[in-house]
Amino acid sequence: MRIVVVGVGNLGSAIARSLTHSYSPREIVLVERNAETRQTLKAQHGCHVAPELSADYKVESGDLLILSVKPQDAVVTCSNLAPFVSPDAVILSVMAGVRVDTLAGIFKTRRIVRAMPNLGASIDESATGYYYCGNTLTPLDVEHVESLISRLGKRWRVEREELIDAYTAVAGSGPAYLCWLGEQIERVAIEFGISEQDAHAIVLQTFRGTALYLEQSSLTFAELRRRVTSPQGTTAAAISVLSEREADASVREAVGAACTRARELGS
C-alpha cells in the first residue's frame, strides 16, 4: 500500500511524522509545491517528496490518499489530483468543512473518510472525530484508516457527517480557546507581580495538573469545579464574577460561531 499525503503544513507534517514510525519511507509520498520545503521534508522524513501527482506517482487501488490542504484551496487542488487517483483508492480528508459529497463529485468515489484531528496530533495526543459511510469501505480499509488515526491520539467515530463540524468547533479549535484563557490568567498573574516566566509556567502546570487529575479521577468538569470551590472562598469569588458577566453564554456563543463557520466552509 502506498500512502500519499497532499498538503504538508502543520497537520500534514504531524501525520507524515506519525506515518514514518509505522511504514517504510518507500511506502510514503508527500506532495509539496515549494522546492525548498520539499528538501526540508525529505531530510526530516526520508520519504519521497513530489511537487505534484503525476503518471509516476498515481494513487492506485488499495492506496490511501490523505488530503490536508486549506479548505479554500480544496476544490482546485482536488480537481488537479483527480486524474491520478483511482476510484478504488481510499481518501482520508482532514480538511475542515469540506463535505464528502463535494469530494465524491470530484473523485467519482465515496470511499472517503472525513477526520478532524487537532493540535495534539503533533505529539500523538490528538482528539480526533471521524466519519465514513458504513457501506463504502471494506473491513480492511477501516482497519488501515482507524489504525492511522489512532496513532495520532484518541479517536471517536460519528454516525452523521454534520457532527464533524461540531468536532471541528470543539476539538479542532479547542486548543486556541484554552490558550486564550491561559493568556488572560497569565496577564493577571503578571499584573499581581509574578514574573512573566513564572506566570507562564504556573498557568501551564495548573492546566496540566488539572487535566491529569480529571483523567485519573474520572470526575466531570462540573464535579471537580464544585469540589475545589469552597463556599465564600477565593474560587467562589472568581466564579461569581464569571456568572454575573454571563461568561458561560459568551463561551457557548463563541464555540457555536466556530461550528457555524465550519458549516459555511462546507457550503
Tens of pLDDT, residues 57-109: 789 998 999 999 988 899 999 999 999 999 999 999 999 889 999 999 999 99
Cell 477501516 locates to 142
Q: With beta carbons less than 8 A apart as the criterion, state whether 9 and 32 touch.
A: no
Q: What is the rounded CA–CA span in Å between residue 132 and residue 136?
A: 8
Q: Say if residues 68 and 3 touch (Cβ distance below 8 Å).
A: no
Confirm if 138 and 192 have CB atoms less than 8 A apart: no
What average pLDDT does the segment 4-25 reach? 87
157 dihedral zone (left: phi>0; alpha: psi -120 to 50; beta): beta
38: pLDDT strictly greater than 90: no
Largest Cα–Cα distance of the chain, in whole Å?
A: 71
Tell me the domain boundaries of the chain.
3-160, 174-266
CA dihedral over 181, 244, 240, 243, signed as positive or negative: negative
Averaged pLDDT score across all residues of the chain: 92
More confident residue, 265 or 89: 89
pTM: 0.86
Could you tell me the pLDDT band of residue 39, with boundaries at 50, 70 and 90?
Answer: confident
pLDDT above 80: residue 267: no
Buried/exposed code over 144-180 (b: 16+ C-beta within 10 A; e: otherwise): bbbebbebbbebebbeeeeebbbbbbbbbbbeeeeee
4: β partners: 29, 65
Q: How is residue 197 written as a grid cell?
A: 516566566
Looking at residue 37, its pLDDT comes to 86
Residue 156 predicted with pLDDT over 90: yes
Which residues of the chain form beta strands (DSSP E)?
Answer: 3-6, 28-31, 48-50, 64-67, 90-93, 112-116, 126-132, 153-157
Q: Which grid coordinates are listed for 114?
A: 472525513
Q: How confident is the model at residue 129 (pLDDT cuts 50, 70, 90)?
A: very high
What CA–CA distance (Å, rounded) separates 70 from 259?
17
* Cα–Cα distance for residue pair 86/186, rounded to 1 Å: 51
Q: Which of 3.30.1340.30, 3.40.50.300, 3.30.70.2660, 3.40.50.720 is the CATH number of 3-160?
A: 3.40.50.720
The domain over range 174-266 is classified in CATH as 1.10.579.10: no
What is the share, in percent, of the chain residues with pLDDT greater than 70? 100
Per-residue pLDDT reduced to its tens digit, 161-181: 999 999 999 999 999 999 999
Coil, helix or strand for 95? coil
